[in-house]
Chains A and B, each alone.
Chain A
Amino acid sequence: GQNIDQPTEMTATEGAIVQINCTYQTSGFNGLFWYQQHAGEAPTFLSYNVLDGLEEKGRFSSFLSRSKGYSYLLLKELQMKDSASYLCAAPPGGYNKLIFGAGTRLAVHP
């Protein structure tokens, strides 16, 4: 079966660093995606990891450990505009569809 878990809510302070964790169990592994979704808007693609390790893209980095079924999204130098939901998603083996976690709602405070 497929299961993706991530914390429901997190809060952080502007300028700080926050790490959003995601654990997954999927039938077959084809990589892991992170999306950002502001309230009332469409999810926007942040990152894709298929190999173990850290991928850095500006203020955002994403890490994957396939052996542990674990990923995290690291957001540095937080800005108020980073207040959003962050969705972890994976395509189950052989199928072009995404199974999403429930999303982590991040609130950034001044």
Chain B
Amino acid sequence: KAGVTQTPRYLIKTRGQQVTLSCSPISGHRSVSWYQQTPGQGLQFLFEYFSETQRNKGNFPGRFSGRQFSNSRSEMNVSTLELGDSALYLCASSLTGEVTDTQYFGPGTRLTVL
């Protein structure tokens, strides 16, 4: 079974631009979560989607948004990019979306904001 895939793998943007990242979960997985990883803050939860609904949201500004499609694929969008948004953005999927379910991570999208 294929793992979680994320596209693109690398992105370079300039301040003020917006960006859309894509995530395809493991086949059959219904929950998709997004995380931001930086050297200073580590791995931080952004949001979680289940059945096209955002169920949980982390402590990030409204510039960060996402959505999930009926096939469980998910996208996240960051508008008005800031230098501090440079990070590795990781997507994780889980089968049932239960709180005790294991989350499996994709390879991430490395975003650089200049």
Contact = CB atoms under 8 A, between A and B. Distances in A.
Given A96-B31, A97-B56, A103-B42, A43 B90 contact: yes
With a 10 A CB-CB cut-off, give which of A43, A87, A97, A99 has the most chain B CB atoms: A97
Contacts of A93: 99
B105 A43 contact: yes
B33 interface: yes
The size class of the interface chain A forms with chain B is 20 to 34
A33 B102 contact: yes
B60 to A, nearest CB: 12
Determine chain A's interface SS by DSSP, over half rule. loop
Instruction: Classify the interface of chain B: helix, strand, loop or mixed.
Output: strand
Contacts of B97: 96
Nearest to B103: A98
Given A97-B45, A103-B42, A30 B99 contact: yes
22 contacts: A31-B100, A33-B102, A33-B103, A35-B105, A42-B105, A42-B107, A43-B43, A43-B105, A44-B105, A48-B100, A93-B99, A94-B99, A95-B48, A95-B56, A96-B48, A96-B50, A96-B94, A96-B99, A96-B101, A97-B33, A97-B48, A101-B42
Interface of B: 4, 31, 33, 35, 42-45, 48, 50, 55-56, 58, 90, 92, 94, 97-108
